[in-house]
Amino acid sequence: MILYHSLRPHPVLGAGREVRMFLHEKGLAVPMTDVDMMTGENRQQAFLAKNPTGQLPALELDDGRVLAEGVAICELFEDLHPEPPLVGRSPEEKAQTRMWLRRCEFGITENIVNGFRFDEGKEFWKGRGRVLPEAADGLKAIARDKLRWLDGAMAGHEFIVGERFTLADVVLFVALEFAEMVGQPLDPELTRVAAWKARIGSRPSAAASLC
């Protein structure tokens, strides 16, 4: 297997950090190839031959097939290597993780990323998909609304789903570090989310996934 990712323009802002962090938590080492998003290397023929959408991260399997979408790639590693469980041990645990992951993604992380794409990132995104500058402020505001909701929901929770560290923690943490670097810092009033973010940030996988 080979994981294609991008460390540029910065490991926090590139593509694939959630997969790198997940792999570190699993204790798995997968060969990685850096594809430079900044120069559009992922939109050039060599990479498009592997993944016609040009998306990063992407995982080339041993048979040559290529899978995209970071969360789908993480779930693949969970299915191949169940221990330690980062989605869940039972079907009910897995469902609980996926529920929280979806709340984080549809409510928070996707709005952070699109808020950036349609605003500070819009020059970079030109020609890579439609940008909606008029939507940027509102999407960022929805992300803040949902983070405030999450802060309340986390009362008594050590991790997003409660007592277990999961893929939901990885995905939200990576997105909040991204947010901080692009002018969407976490509201310091959200003390539960801030404390949780510091806890996740102190795990060895947080530092290890920066390269």
For its own copies, the binding residues (CB under 8 A) are 52-53, 61, 65, 67-69, 71-73, 75-76, 79-80, 91-92, 94-96, 98-99, 102-103, 106, 110, 129-130, 132, 134-135, 138-139, 141-142, 145, 153
Residues 175 and 71: their CA atoms lie apart, in Å, by: 13
CB 118 within 8 A of CB 131: yes
Task: Name the minimum Å distance from CB 201 to its own copies.
Answer: 26
Smallest gap from residue 72 Cβ to its own copies (A): 4
Q: Which is nearer to its own copies, 141 or 208 (CB)?
A: 141
d(CA 157, CA 150): 11
**Shortest distance, position 32 Cβ to its own copies, whole Å:** 18
Closest distance to its own copies from the beta carbon of 164 (Å) = 14
Closest to its own copies by CB, 153 or 199: 153
Q: Is the CB of 28 or the CB of 99 nearer to its own copies?
A: 99
Element (H, E) at 77: helix 70-80
Shortest approach of its own copies to residue 211 CB, angstroms? 25
CA 150 → CA 77, 100, 159, distances in Å? 27, 10, 11
What is the spatial distance between Cα 40 and Cα 37, in angstroms, rounded to a whole number? 5
Cα–Cα distance for residue pair 16/3, rounded to 1 Å: 9
- Phi and psi angles of residue 138, each rounded to the nearest 5 degrees, phi first: -65, -40
Please, which residue, 95 or 181, has the CB nearer to its own copies? 95
Give 34 or 69: the residue with its C-beta nearer to its own copies. 69
Q: By the 8 A CB rule, do 176 and 105 touch?
A: no
